[in-house]
Chain A
Amino acid sequence: MCLFSFLVVIIFSFAFGTDLQVYNGMVPGILWVAFIFSGLLGLNRSFGTERDKGTLSGLLLCPVAPWEIFLAKMIGTLIFTTIMEIFTFLVFIILYNQNVLPFLVPLSLVIFLGTLGFSIVGTIFSAMSSATKARDVILSILVFPISVPVIIASVKATGLILEGRSIQTVYAWLKILVAFDMVFLLLAYLTFSHIMEE
């Protein structure tokens, strides 16, 4: 995941150069493209490997609710994606010469909420697609359209913060991110046992 995100950031730096004054609006986009595409690699392994190795049934036979398995998987995805994001962010700061220290706290909040939303949706669809043959393709097809609100909100909020705007200006986007996370967490709670049934 880290290597892939590193490559994405490098490729963008070759394509647009490291002086992004002309393309300033693209900075948050580049960052989130690296996050989302690399995160998808991790999602593919979340349930797929368990199913391939025949350990998923072992997990489902443990005396825990399917919802708890979902939470564990989602938190695992969140942790690995966050590690990848920290690495990507460091590379990004160095390559694009961005000074993010003054905005570190609000930026971290946006990245956390965006990643949480992506991890929730991704874990749900990773479980659904793990039983299919072309799960890599199906996961991408399912996750990207559903994640559009979280991607738009994250990119917009990140852009506003990098421009040096106050936290109040990104409040609306943060509310969208929180609402998205809550709705999909509730959806996972209600549906995950049915998803894992077959």
Chain B
Amino acid sequence: MDELHGQKYVVKARELIKKFGFKTALRQVNLSLISGDCLALFGPNGAGKTTLIQILCSLTLPTSGKVVIAGLDTRYHRAAIHRLIGVIAHDTFLYGDLTAVENLNFYGRMYNVPKLKARIDDLIDQVGLRAYKNDPVHTYSRGMKQRLSVARAILHDPAILFLDEPYTGLDQQGADDLQRLLNQFRDQRKTIVLASHNLARGLELCSHAAILNAGELIYHENTAGIDKNEFKQMYLKLTEEKTWSHQISAQVSYENSRRSYGKIFFPNSDPKN
């Protein structure tokens, strides 16, 4: 099914599995978003949020499963998809030796942004870096880099935004400015996927919340009218339960493999040991 209530899915992930060697980072993740949906993706460290964002924006291919962005399969239409999406990740993707303007100019030319100079001026103002726009980026603080990273991500006016911990390094003012920008995006009915540990900001911004734990999507609901404290309690309970159950199952499989190893290589050994 490619539609919900007559609206086409903008982001559709089906049965995503991602393995790194023996470690499974994502287990059968399904996700569907229509235009204007805003999803907050929560989860403890190592839950697979970054891996999921990387797969959704086609930086990494899944081991199995499929991702379709605006009707385009990420395996075959990367360039076209990249024109539609903006990404803020752990890395800022900025060149330290270039100034803010030069960085934006470089990415603007890569995206073929029309009226680039005016657009850069506007964005530099929006992220509050006018006074520093001609300084090399390596002289910026982490927060300033993150502000510029936001400008870089929305430079080509993307229809879909993937944000992986966008509040990292931002002071209160910077986080508020980013929240204001994201609210504008949401009001323009653009699609946002936000991975964050900040439950309050995530719930404030987004229309849907999902919880990812140990690679599994264990919760995905509309957040309209949800109480933040209740959600926090539920989040803690769900992630704790799942973490314990995964630790136990990992221990059991380790014990089983140890016993099989004993059976195969030491046929005279006592299977009870």
Contact = CB atoms under 8 A, between A and B. Distances in A.
A61 B60 CA distance: 11
Contact of A61 (B82, B90, B112): B82
Contacts of A198: 60-61
A59 B107 CA distance: 9
A191 to B, nearest CB: 15
A61 B111 CA distance: 10
A62 B91 contact: no
B60 A55 contact: no
A57 B111 contact: no
Given A60-B59, A198-B60, A65 B79 contact: yes
A58 B86 CA distance: 10
A196 B119 CA distance: 31
Contacts of A193: 78
A65 B90 CA distance: 23
Contacts of B152: 58
* Most chain B CB neighbours (cut-off 10 Å) among A60, A61, A62, A63: A61
A63 B93 contact: no
A62 B110 contact: yes
B40 interface: no
Interface in A32-63: 53-55, 57-63
Nearest to B85: A61
B193 to A, nearest CB: 15
Contacts, number: 50
A64 B93 contact: no
Given A63-B80, A64-B110, A65-B79, A54 B59 contact: no
A60 B59 CA distance: 7
A66 B93 CA distance: 17
B57 interface: yes
Interface residues of B, number: 24
Interface string B74-111: 00001110110101011111111000000000010011
Contacts of A58: 91, 93-94, 107, 152
A57 B89 contact: yes
A55 B59 contact: no
A66 B79 CA distance: 9
B60 A64 contact: no
Given A53-B96, A57-B59, A197-B61, A63 B83 contact: yes
A63 B60 contact: no
8 contacts: A54-B91, A58-B91, A58-B93, A59-B110, A63-B111, A64-B79, A193-B78, A197-B61
Given A61-B57, A62-B107, A63-B80, 12 more contacts: A55-B93, A55-B95, A58-B91, A58-B93, A61-B82, A61-B85, A62-B110, A63-B112, A64-B79, A64-B110, A65-B78, A197-B60
